[in-house]
Each structure stands twice: as C-alpha cells, then as structure tokens.
Amino acid sequence: MKPGYKYVHKQEKLDFGKIYHVYNKAIGNELLFKTHSDYYFFLQKIERFLLPVVDIYVYCLIPNHFHFLIMTKQEHELEVLLKGKSNEKASKVFQQSFSNFFNSYSKSYNKAHGRAGRLFLYPFKRILVDKDDYFLTLVNYIHRNPIHHGIVKGFSDWKYSSYNAIISNNETRISREFVLDCFGSIEDFIHFHEQNKRPPGMDKYWLE
C-alpha cells in the first residue's frame, strides 16, 4: 500500500424490496458484545434505526460478529422518510440507516467499555438472496452459527438469535409468520434445522 493511501471499504448498496444477507464483524481482535447489556442495546438499536426501513426475518449475534436476513421495504412504504428527497438520496436511505445504527451502537459500546475508535470492520457487507433454496438454508446457517463456533450445542441454547422467537408464541418484532410460511409449519422449521442439509453450490455463500 502506498504511503498516505487510505483504504476505504466499498459502500454496499441496498435496493428497495430485496432480500439480503447482511453481516459485519468487529475490527481486529475486538468483540462486538462482552455482556448481556451489549446484546440488549444492540437489539434496541435495531428497533430504532433498522426496523423503520427493513423487515428482519432472521438474526444471530455472536461475540465478534453478527448475521441478519432482511428484506428492504418498498419505496412506497417509506414515503414519509423519503419525502422531499431526490432519487439519488432516496436510494441511499438504507445505507444511511445502517450507518446511523453502527455509529450509535459503537458510541454506546465505547462509552460502556472505556474504549475509543472504530468498532466494526466494514460499513457492512451484503449478499442478495434471490434463490428460494438459498433463503431456506441461510435461515439454518444463521441459526447454526453459535453451534458452528462451539458456543452452544443446541439451537435453543443461544439467547441472541431469532430461533427461539420463531418457534414460540411470544411477541416479537421479527417477521416470524413469513419465515414459518416458507417452511410450512413450526415442526418443518425445526426438522429442517436438525437435518442441516446444504444444497449443492451453497458453500460459496458460507462466511463464518
């Protein structure tokens, strides 16, 4: 890298009415979550900054990274937010919402843990989900993340994912009905997770 050159991560673009796998991780050897309060504040800030512009189907928070499965809202659903904005500015409503989300959480985290500086490695990364089989296996992949990393042995053992919210009748802000409709029933949802099958060609989408 040339002296004086500042590396800038590519700003990912999100379009209206699309499903995405969105993920991010802590910079270096840092953690995103050290205490229960960190997870709680992160979820609170999702509600404040992201739910006005996206629907969340699935999520999982791991000590040093997270995964979301979301659908961006349609342009007509965001008329109030987009009022008076040009087409160029309207197209950046999602990027700005994520930026505000990460900045707000980083400030809270830094204050709580006596640190300074950047917390997240990327502005965020995303993969467009445009295949039904990818959507289904991605739900399992995201919920399996704590098992994959050896943190817990079972899906329901991890408190900081959407798995328990989906199989329960408790009030939730995630789009539980949509997810269950994709699987057919709660029983099919649980069975699919326990099978842990990966269709051919899906390995290229596996991150961490």
| pTM score of the predicted model | 0.87
* Nearest alpha carbon to residue 153 among 144, 165, 162, 161: 144
What pLDDT is recorded for position 103? 95
What pLDDT is recorded for position 201? 53
| Residue in this structure with the two tokens 């995303």, named with its chain if needed | 126
Tell me the three state secondary structure of residue 128.
Answer: strand
CA distance 160 to 63: 10
Query: Residue type at 88?
Result: E
Tell me the three state secondary structure of residue 125.
Answer: strand
What pLDDT is recorded for position 10? 52
The CATH number of domain 19-205 is 3.30.70: yes
Q: What is the rounded (10 degree) CA torsion for 205, 35, 12, 7?
A: -110
What pLDDT is recorded for position 133? 85
Give pLDDT tens digits along the chain (208 positions): 333 323 334 557 899 999 999 999 999 999 999 999 999 999 999 999 999 999 999 999 999 999 999 999 998 888 888 877 776 677 789 999 999 999 999 999 999 999 999 999 988 889 999 888 889 989 999 999 999 899 999 999 999 999 999 999 999 999 999 999 999 999 999 999 998 766 555 555 555 5
Domain boundaries, the chain: 19-205
What pLDDT is recorded for position 90? 73
Ordered alpha helix ranges (H), the chain: 36-45, 79-82, 87-90, 93-113, 132-148, 163-167, 176-183, 186-195
Residues in Cβ contact with 166 at an 8 Å cutoff, skipping those fewer than 6 apart: 58, 172, 174, 176, 179, 180, 186, 189
User: Is 139 buried (19+), middle (13-18) or exposed (0-12) by CB count in 10 A?
Assistant: buried
CA distance 85 to 76: 13
Q: What is the DSSP letter of 75?
A: G
What pLDDT is recorded for position 166? 96
